[in-house]
Amino acid sequence: MSTGTIYHHLDTLSSLIEQQDNKKYYLSELGLLAYTSLIDNKDNIITPEFSKKEFNSPILKGLMFLTPKTYINYGNKRTYSVMIFTILIALIGSIFCGLNGLFPLFLFFGESLMIFTTVDANIQFLLALFFIGNILLYFLINEGLSRIIYRKKENTLKFLASFAIIFFPLDIYLVLRFILISTGSLDFSYIRVLDNILMILFQVWSLWLLTYNLCINKKLKIENSLIISLLVHYGGFSIILLISI
Amino acid sequence: MTIKKYLDFRLLGLTGSMMLIISEFLPWFSGLSLLNIYILTTSVAIEDSFLYLFPLICGIICLVGAIVIIYNMVYKINSVIINFIGLGFFLIFVVEIIPRDLLYIPNAGIGFYFSIIGSILIFFDILNILLIKQE
């Protein structure tokens, strides 16, 4: 390497290194901090090259556009506004879950799970309560898995405060479904196809929000967050299938 | 792992999605393929006939996901999300169809087993993609 190139690199690193009396270069205080931080978070850092290429793809650009980042990655000052937002999401979801007469289980809704022939007000209220219970159960399972598999115990309250945001896409789905039922459109087979496709797309959006939330608040790598999302989602599906049978 | 030297585990997704696509054309119940059942149920205007096309749709979407990861390892998150969407179709099919036709499952044809094995392979492909270390 030529002397010029070395000086160029030394110049780039000028804020992180300093030359001492013995003419040797050492890490400055900031450089030492940067080094320690890199070593401590080696497992959590997504390599910039990987992120840049991957996140420039249309799918992830679209998903990132649909992610309410300020409500998931928030500071202490915004805790109350985030909590109000999440409570609103939980309430709207529970109301429309009851109105639709759907039984919630994680990110699934079981129509065939209904053991009652008619959906009266009491059962609607019960289903609405199930929706709230489902959010808490889903949180506990995700928190538990990130603790058991990846030993991530931090930010539990922050994770809980923003957890219901994951159900934001499902709220939209429930509202849309309620409109379809109210207008009688759901009786048409092609609308039922659309209903199924919408549910799949909103589920994937919710899964992405869960992944992002785990990534930000539990400090997990995006791959590890996806593994947890995947395990919980397909675990939930297995339970739905067993109950249906 | 010696096996990893000779076998690219990304092929799991390709195999799984191909099996799902093929299962659409293999016999399921009473010697009829899902495509035959779809045509039959559509002709007698049964509401949920479109569900019988979901394994085929799932196979095609997951095939795209498998091709993306084989084309370039960098797009692994994209591939996983595409697979999530694809498997979503299969999950809906299974939840709707299996409880309804539960009595006929013991006599189900090879198409049923192809689809189940295919979906399991796709599931393991997703896990494998996420566990691959970036070089």
**CA–centroid distance for A124 within its chain:** 28
Q: Tens digit of pLDDT for each residue in A62-96?
A: 998 999 988 998 888 888 999 999 999 999 999 99
Select the residue of A112, A189, A233 nearest B47 (Cβ to Cβ). A189
Task: Name the residue with tokens 């000779």.
Answer: B6
Taking CB atoms and an 8 Å cut-off, how many pairs form between chains A and B? Answer: 82
Mutate to test the interface with A, among B81, B82, B105, B122 (most CBs of A within 10 A): B81
Q: State which residue of chain B sits closest to A108, comparing Cα positions.
A: B92
Return the residue in B38, B51, B91, B123 with the most chain A beta carbons within 10 A, the one to mutate for interface testing.
B91
Q: Give residue-wise pLDDT tens across range A175-200.
A: 999 999 899 888 888 888 888 899 99
Per-range mean pLDDT, top range of A122-126, A134-138, B74-78: A134-138
Instruction: Judge: B85–A200 Cβ closer than 8 Å, yes or no.
Output: yes
What average pLDDT does the segment B59-65 reach?
Answer: 95
pLDDT of A164: 93
Which pLDDT value is given to residue A113? 47
- In order of A131, B69, B109, the CA distances from B113 in angstroms are 35, 26, 7
Query: Who wins on pLDDT, A8 or B97?
Result: B97
Residue A49 is predicted with a pLDDT of 45
Confidence at residue A118, expressed as pLDDT on a 0 to 100 scale: 56
Tell me which residue of A108, A104, A148, A159 sits closest to A126, measured CA to CA.
A104
Q: How do A17-19 and A25-27 pair as beta strands? A: antiparallel
Using a CB-CB distance cutoff of 8 angstroms, which residues of chain B are in contact with residue A227? 127, 130-131
Name the residue of chain B whose CA is nearest to A196's CA. B92
B66 vs B10: which has the higher pLDDT: B66
CB-based contact A240:A113 (threshold 8 Å): yes
pLDDT greater than 50 at residue A241: yes
- In the prediction, which pLDDT does A205 show? 94
DSSP code, position A125: H
Residues from chain B that touch A241, judged by Cβ atoms under 8 A, are 94-95, 98-99
Q: How many domains does chain B have?
A: 1
Higher pLDDT, A78 or A40: A78
pLDDT digits (tens, 9 = 90+) for A205-227: 999 999 999 999 998 888 899 99
Contact A224, A212 (CB under 8 A): no
The reply to whether residue A237 touches residue B80, judged by beta carbons under 8 angstroms, is: no
**Residue B124: pLDDT over 80:** yes
CB contact under 8 A, B88 and A200: yes
DSSP 3-state of B78: helix
A226 touches chain B (CB under 8 A): yes
Residue A109 — very low, low, confident or very high, per pLDDT cuts 50/70/90?
confident
Do the chains contact at A230 and B126, CB–CB below 8 Å? Answer: yes
B→A interface, C-beta within 8 Å: 47-51, 74-78, 80-82, 84-85, 88-89, 91-92, 94-96, 98-99, 102, 123, 126-127, 130-131, 134
The average confidence (pLDDT) of chain A is 84
> Residue A108: which H helix or E strand, with range?
strand A108-110
Structural domain boundaries enclosing B123: 3-131
Distance from CA of B7 to the nearest CA of A (A): 22
What pTM value is reported for the model?
A: 0.82
A245 reaches B (C-beta below 8 A)? yes
